[in-house]
Amino acid sequence: MFRLNLARQLARAATLQAPRAAAPKIAQPVGTSMRFFSSSPYPFKDHSSRDDVDAATTAGQPGESGDHEGQYARTQDNIRVEYPEEEDLPRSVPVQGRGGVHDKRTLASFSLEGRVAVVTGGARGLGFVMAQALVTSGADVAIVDMNRDEGQLSAQGLIDTFKAENPGSKVPKVTAHFCDVSSPTSVNQSMAEILKEHGKVDHLVTSAGFTENYDAISYPHDRMQKLWGVNVDGTYLYAVAVAKHLMERQSPGSIVMIGSMSGSIVNVPQPQAPYNAAKAAVRHLAASLAVEWASAGIRVNCISPGYMLTALTKKILDDNPELQKQWTSLIPVGKMGRPEDLMGAVTFLISDASLYVTGADLRVDGAYTCT
Ligand SMILES: NC(=O)c1ccc[n+]([C@@H]2O[C@H](COP(=O)([O-])OP(=O)(O)OC[C@H]3O[C@@H](n4cnc5c(N)ncnc54)[C@H](O)[C@@H]3O)[C@@H](O)[C@H]2O)c1
């Protein structure tokens, strides 16, 4: 599916550390004004009479107040990162020591006892840890993923971890199913397989998705279509399949779509316009379907994570500390999120604890999108 291996990806990610080019000088006739927000004519000033205040405003020539202008707010065209080949993706391991039996009081409405949840992209990364959250909260889970073997290993890992942390408890059913979420046929086939094994589906988390970095001018069209196919079509197709099943059963249910803060802000320095647009689509898809399916008792919400330290991002950042510095310098809480930071968010939005929450976008981003 993806062409380049991790080594190539890391080599490319290393280009992020290339020295930043000086802000480009845009040719402009001397004496012209760039003042857009006033109807009163801007007084002509020749270059020699410009003062420091002018230089720092839209009246100044680009670059006039120094090479730092816009430096931390721009994308860099030389950054290219392609999603690695399947065999080069690091494995995800279950979160240890946070689940298990406890005697702390908590709201019963957070429990997913007796429910069945599907998690697309659940073989690894954020989908995997969210699947663990749902299992820990009482649900049976069907992991849906393109990577059949990884899905099976992950399902077994969740069962083993549950058994170790909950000795003597009823063991949840966790299954793995192959699916390419961008294909309607594959979605329907996996849904049929899940219904055969679990008998019903109550909840869906759509985490299958990926990002790549190319400047917009060079973005290969087939890769852009693939990106939207998985991130947008895949989210839509699985949501429709589950909603159809819930409507046929005349049963309420809930869906959580994994968007990204990139659906609301533009990341820097890596260029990724199609991904950002795809995640904005996911966020608004959740709001639109929440309205369309409200009368059927189906809630649809979105979680928009910020920079999360998955096995893949950790590997890239370990090799590229400069990139880590650039990213964390823009996060108000000063650090990236851990995948398990999504466990509470997804459990809340899937469970009855959020019965009156639908069409919402829950940002889990360390306040990145507040800046
Ligand atoms: N990691 C982050 O920092 C971050 C931040 C914001 C949003 N997100 C979003 O979270 C979601 C999960 O990201 P992740 O970091 O866990 O990625 P990941 O690569 O670790 O996991 C994604 C999973 O989706 C599966 N997948 C890919 N294409 C598929 C397809 N066509 N059909 C079925 N499964 C497919 C992969 O096999 C993989 O198991 C994505 O939608 C991503 O855009 C991630």
Q: In angstroms, what is the span from residue 123 Cα to ligand 1's centroid?
A: 9
d(Cα 109, Cα 137) in Å, to the nearest integer?
10
Contact 310, 92 (CB under 8 A): yes
Is the per-residue pLDDT at 350 higher than 50? yes
86-370 sits in which CATH class? alpha beta
* Mean pLDDT score, 69-93: 83
Q: Which residue has the higher pLDDT, 187 or 49?
A: 187
- Which of 126, 144, 177, 194 has the most ligand 1 atoms within 8 A of CB, as the residue to mutate? 126
With bands split at pLDDT 50, 70 and 90, how would you rate the model's confidence at 230? Answer: very high
Question: pLDDT tens digits, residue range 28-72?
Answer: 333 333 323 333 334 444 555 567 777 777 777 777 777 777 888
CA-nearest of 365, 291, 370, 371 to 335 is 365
Is residue 336 lining ligand 1, measured as CB closer than 6 Å? no
Q: What is the pLDDT of residue 4?
A: 35
How do beta strands 203-206 and 253-258 pair? parallel
Give the residues across from 265 on adjacent strands. Answer: none
Is residue 131 lining ligand 1, measured as CB closer than 6 Å? no
Contact 66, 59 (CB under 8 A): no
* Mean pLDDT score, 218-224: 96
Is residue 161 lining ligand 1, measured as CB closer than 6 Å? no
The domain ranges of the chain are 86-370
Is the per-residue pLDDT at 191 higher than 50? yes
Q: CA dihedral defined by 130, 280, 241, 298, rounded to 10 degrees?
A: 80
CA-nearest of 222, 208, 41, 13 to 120 is 208
